[in-house]
Amino acid sequence: MYQWRKFEFFEEKSGGKGSIPAEITGRIDCCSGGRGRIVIGCDDGTVSLLDRGFKHIYGFQAHASSVLFLQQLKQRNYLVTVGEEDQTSSHLSSICLKVFDLDKMQPEGSSSTGPVCVQILRIFTTQFPEAKITSFLVLEEAPPILLISIGLENGSIYCIKGDLTRERISRFKLQVEGPVETSDSLITGLGFRVEGQALQLFAITPTSVSLFSLNDNPPRRQTLDQIGCNSNAVAMSDHMDLIIGRPEAVYFYEVDGRGPCWAFDGEKKFLGWFRGYLLCVIGDHQINSKNSFNIYDLKNKLIAHSMMVGEVSHMICEWGYIILIMSDRKVLFIGEKDMESKLDMLFKKNLYNVAINLVHSQHADAVATAEVLRKYGDHLYGKQEYDEAMSQYIQTIGHLEPSYVIQKFLDAQRIYNLTNYLEQLHERGLASKDHTTLLLNCYTKLKDVEKLNKFIKGDDSVSEQRFDVETAIRVCRSAGYHEHAMYVAKKAKRHEWYLKILLEDLGSYQEALQYISSLEPNQAGVTLKEYGKILIEHRPAETIGILMKVCTDSGETKRISSNGARLSMLPSPMDFINSFVHSPQSLMDFLEKYVSRVKDSPAQTEINNTLLELYLSNSLSFPSISRENVGDDLNFKANNSWEVANGSASGKKTKPFTEGKDVKKENDRQERFQKGLSLLKSAWTSEMEYPMYDVDLAIILCEMNAFKDGLLFLYEKMKLYKEVFACYMQAHDHEGLIACCKKLGDSSQGGDPSLWGDLLKYFGELGEDCSKEVKEVLTYIERDDVLPPIVVVQLLSKNPCLTLSVVKDYIARRLEQESKLIEDDRKSIEKYQEGTTSMRKEIQELRTNAKIFQLSKCTACTFTLDLPAVHFMCMHSFHLRCLGDNEKECPECAPEYRAVLETKRNLEQNAKDQDRFFQQVKSSKDGFSVIADYFSKGILSKTANDTDNT
C-alpha cells in the first residue's frame, strides 16, 4: 500500500477558514447532510440548519435536554431526531423520537419557534426495554413509509416501520448474538442494502458482522465475519457494500461474506464514501491530536489526496464537498478538482496509464477518453514505440479523426501499423472509400495475400458493411488481383463490375456467358445491353442463346403465343440491337430465331423492318445503306434511265449485280432476297388490312438495292398498278408486261383495264419490232373494248417497225362489228318509229273522234250491264255498284298504270343521284350507251327538269 502514488486530486475550498457559526453554542453531538443543507444537533437540545456558505439559517429547540441522533430525509423534507426529554415519570423513558416537517413552521405567537413536529414517539416500552442507543439509521422505503433501525448497547436492534406521521407503525426486535461481555455486544454500526425487492440490514459489533434478511418473517440472521469495529468506522459504498475499518485494514463485505481487504495501517476513526473514493480519517498513534485524512482511489490504486488534520468530530458530504468538522469547531471543505486539472497533473508526470484508468473509473465521456488516449499515443510515438502507440490510437477510433493517425504512419517503415489501424476502422464500420483504397494498397504493396483474402472473403455476413464495394473492386483490379475483385463484385451482386473484369481484363468470354445465364432474366438483360457487343463479337452463338432465353423467358424450343400479358413484360429484341452494330449476320440469325419462336410480338413491326433491312442489303451491312451499295444502286438506276430514255430495245434483262462479285456472295445475296420477299408476303397477307412492317421503308430498301420482285409485290398490294407496269417497262420485260396486264387489267377482278392502253402506247413508242406482242395485246383490247380502233391505230403508227398487217385483222373485225351494230340500230330505229306513229294516231283519234262502247256485260261481275254504268276509255265497262268508291280509274288497268308511274318516278329520282350516274358511266364498257339510255327515258330532257321545278 505504501507504493501507491499520491496525487492532489482534491483541494481545500474557502481558504480553509470555515468554522461553526456563533449562533450554535452547544456541543455538537450529531449532524446530517441532504437537500442542500447541513443539520446540526447539539447537547442543549437545539437543532440548527446551515446553508451552502455554512451560514446559520435558523435553529429551534428540538428536545429538552440533548439531541443524540438525527437524519435528514432526502425524498421528503422531513427531519428525524432522537433526543432526551425532561423526566416526567419514573416509568417512562426520557428518550423520544421526533419527526419534523421542515416545510411547515410554527405559527407566530406560539410558545416555540421552528418547524412543526408532526410526530413524537417513545422508543422504549414495556416490550422494548430501555438501553443505551449506540447507532441510528433511517431508510426511506417508499414515502411515507419509513424503516428506522436503532442499535443498542446490549446487542439488540429495535426497528420501527410504517407511516410515523399517522402512527401506522409496527415494531420488531433483532438480536445479535455476541460474546457474554456486554462491551463487545454493542451495535457500533448499521447499514441497509436494497437490491430489487430484497431488503437486508448489516449490523456491526466490535466482534462480529451480521446480515439480517428483513423480507423473511421472522427476519433471518447470518454471521458474515467474527471481527467487527468501533463506532464511526462504518460506511456503505455506492454498490451497497459494507465497509468497516479496523486498525490493520479496511474490509468490504457483500451479502455472501467478506470481500476485498485493503491494508491501510492505523486506527480508523472515520470512514466514508464519496463519488467512488474511500474516505479515511486515520489516527496518528505517535501524536494523539494529529490525524491523517486520506482519500483513496481503490480502482486505480492511488491516493487521491492526503493531509494532516486535527481532531475530527464529524465527517459529512454535501454540495459536492467533503466536510470535516473539527473538535475545535473549525470546518474543512475539501472538493475534487476538475478532470482537466487532474489530467494535466498526470500528463506533466507522463502518467498516461493512470490518466486512462482515471477517465475510465470516473466514467468520463468518450471524447475526453479519446483525448487522453491520443496524448498517450503521441507520447509513445515520440518515443518511437510505434506498436504501443498504435494500440492507443486504435482505441480512439470513432472520436479521433483517422487522418491524424494515418498521416503519422504513412511512412513505408510503419506500413504494418497503418494496416492494423485501417483494419480496425473497417471492423467498426467507420471506414470511408479512401480508407478502403489505402488499406487495399497496403495489402498489395506488402503482397500479403492471406490478409487480403481475410479482408475480402472474411466474414461474409458483414463484408458488405465493412468497406466500400466499388472502391475495393477498383483497387484490386488496378493492382492485378482480379480474383479478389471478382469475388467482391459477385458477393455484392455488382454484376457490371464482375463482367467488366471478365471481359476487359481476363477475356474470359465463356465464363462471362455462364455467369450471365445464371442471373435472373431482368438482370441478365441489363448486363447484355452493356456488354452484348463484345460478347457477340467473340461468342455469337452462345450470346444469341442467352438473348433468346431473356426475350422469351423459356429455354425450350416451343413456339410462344402472346395471348397472355407475360410476353409484353419481357424485353424486346430491339432493346439489344445496338449490340449487333458490327455483326449484322448475328443479328439476322437472332431475329430469325426469335420470329420463329415468338408470334405476334409487340415489337413485330420493328423486327420485320430490321430483317428487311438485313435481307435486302447488297453486302449484308448494318445499316444496309452503305456507300458501296448506294454507289452501285445509283449506277444501276442511271444505266436503266439512259436505256429507257434512248429507247433501247435489246430485249435483254439488265443484270442487277456487278459482274465482279464472288459467286458465294452472289448466292448468299439471292438467298437473302428470297427471304426478304417471303417476309414481305407473310407479313402482309390478303387477310391483313395493314402490313406488319413500314411500307415506305420497304419500298426505299427495294429501290436502293434494285429488288424488283419486292417492288412489284409492294406496288401490287398498294394497288399502284401504274408503278408495277413501269417496273416491267423499265426492265424491257415484254412477257412480264403482258402477264402483268392479264393479272391487273381484268376489271372483273378489280383490275385497271386502262393498263392495256398504256401497254399498247409503250409498244407504239418502243421503236423496235414487237408485232407478236402487239397482236396479243390487241386481242385483249378487242375483248374488253378498252380503246376505239382509231386510237389503237394512232398509238401504233408511232412505231416505224410495225406494219399494217399487224392491225389489219383487228381493223377488219372491228369494222364488221361496227357494221353489225349499225344494222341492229337501224332496225331498232324503224321499229320504234312504227310504234311511235301508231301511238300518235291513237292519241289523235281519242282527241277528235267519238268512242262507241258496245259491251253488254260488266267487266267485274260479268252480269248484264244496266244503268247506272261507267265506261272507261280503255274500253272496260262496269256497274256503278261494282266500282265502289273508286270511280275515276279502271280497276283492270290501274295496276299496270301504277307500275308505269312508279317506274317513271324512280327514273326521275335516279336522275337526281349524280354519284350513281357517274358510277354507271365509269363502270360501263360503253359510257355513251349509259348516257343515251338516260336520254331515252327522258330523265335528262329539258321537259322533265321543268316539270320537276314546277
Residue count (the chain): 950
* SS3 state at 405: helix
Q: Cβ distance 68 to 29 under 8 Å?
A: yes
Q: What is the CA radius of gyration of the chain?
A: 64
- How many CB atoms lie under 10 A from the CB of residue 799? 20
What was the pLDDT predicted at 646? Answer: 35
Q: Which helix (H) or strand (E) holds 50?
A: strand 46-50
Total-model pTM? 0.54
> Which of 215-229, 354-368, 429-443, 633-647 has maximum average pLDDT?
215-229
End-to-end Cα distance, the chain = 147
What was the pLDDT predicted at 632? Answer: 42
Choice between 414 and 286, residue whose per-residue pLDDT is larger: 414
- How many CB atoms lie under 10 A from the CB of residue 858? 21
Specify the residue for cell string 420488531: 172
pLDDT at 778 over 80: no
Q: Left (φ > 0), alpha (ψ -120 to 50) or beta: where does 236 sit?
A: beta
What was the pLDDT predicted at 28? Answer: 93
DSSP state of 749: G
Pairing of strands 277-283, 267-274: antiparallel
- pLDDT above 70: percentage of residues in the chain: 85
What is the distance between the alpha carbons of residues 574 and 570, in angstroms, rounded to a whole number? 12
pLDDT at 689 over 90: no
Q: Left (φ > 0), alpha (ψ -120 to 50) or beta: where does 772 sit?
A: alpha
What was the pLDDT predicted at 947? Answer: 45
The confidence band for 470, taking pLDDT boundaries of 50, 70 and 90, is confident
What is the distance between the alpha carbons of residues 191 and 531, in angstroms, rounded to a whole number? 80
What is the distance between the alpha carbons of residues 246 and 233, in angstroms, rounded to a whole number? 8
Task: For 86-205, list the strands marked E by DSSP.
Answer: 95-105, 115-122, 133-142, 145-152, 156-163, 168-175, 189-195, 198-205
User: 308 - beta bridge partners?
Assistant: 292
What was the pLDDT predicted at 71? Answer: 94
pLDDT at 211 over 60: yes
Per residue, what are the HEC states of 98-122? EEEEEEEECCCCCCCCCEEEEEEEE
pLDDT tens digits, one per residue of 31-71: 999 888 999 999 999 999 999 888 999 999 999 989 999 99
Alpha-carbon distance values, 58 to 37, 66, 115 (Å): 11, 18, 10
What is the distance between the alpha carbons of residues 882 and 870, in angstroms, rounded to a whole number? 10
105, with CB counted inside 10 A (0-12, 13-18, 19+), is middle
pLDDT tens digits, one per residue of 739-770: 777 666 666 655 666 677 776 777 777 767 77
pLDDT at 927 over 80: no
Give start and end residues of each alpha helix (H) in 68-165.
Answer: none
What was the pLDDT predicted at 191? Answer: 94
Task: For 284-373, list the strands marked E by DSSP.
Answer: 291-297, 302-309, 312-318, 321-326, 330-336
